[in-house]
Amino acid sequence: MADQFWHSPITEPKRNFRFELTITGENNLTWLVKTADKPKVNVSTTPHKYINHTFNYPGRVVWNPIAITLVDTPFGEDNDTSQTVMKFLEKSGYRLPHGSNEDAQQAAGTNIQKSNAVAALGKVYLRQLQNEVIITGPKKGYIDEWELQNAFIQGDIAFGTLDYASEELTTVSFTLQYDWAIYTAGGLA
């Protein structure tokens, strides 16, 4: 029992507030992330009924979408979080149906394609940082890393709620769908 982690003064469990999410496709959004779900996996089961019994067998593995919330803030000339998320959507293939009749007709003929949606985000990494992050040059210590494969924005994109009675920061939230995630324990980013 003495070898349990809570008996050691130098060992500390992973902490939720020590993380970074990196989306390489547009600007550096790492410091704007407020919350991020870690990857979720669902293993389905298939029941087989035999006489008076049911036997369950594992089925497919499905990686569930994760929710991301960013702080909506300006971070450069004519550029902010909302604008960056809209750029992700545009680079995915979405066009607003406005402007001249010709522009509107051309926009109506476009659609989002997976290859464009994945390229818009670039690589997506979710890293849980060490309790005492030691920075040596551009490298940061991390406890674990998830690299989301073929990630793209799906579902609702929410650009926050305005409220005179609130002092909360305005946020932009969306969901990332991905095909699978590669887990790497420890190391240097």
CA distance 162 to 118: 31
Average pLDDT over residues 22-38: 81
Q: Which pLDDT does position 189 carry in this prediction?
A: 44
CA atoms within 13 Å, Cβ hemisphere of 8: 8
Task: Choose among 131, 151, 135: nearest CA to 143.
Answer: 131
The alpha-helical segments, DSSP class H, found in 5-152 are 81-92, 101-108, 114-121
Q: What is the pLDDT of residues 46-92, one digit of tens each?
A: 999 999 999 999 999 999 999 999 888 876 655 688 888 888 998 99
Parallel, antiparallel, or unpaired: how do β-strands 124-129 and 66-71 relate?
A: unpaired
Range picked from 15-24, 30-39, 174-183 for highest mean pLDDT: 174-183
Q: What are the domain boundaries of the chain?
A: 5-185
Return the number of other C-beta atoms located less than 10 Å from residue 45's C-beta. Answer: 10
Higher pLDDT, 188 or 147: 147
CATH architecture for residues 5-185: Roll (2.30)
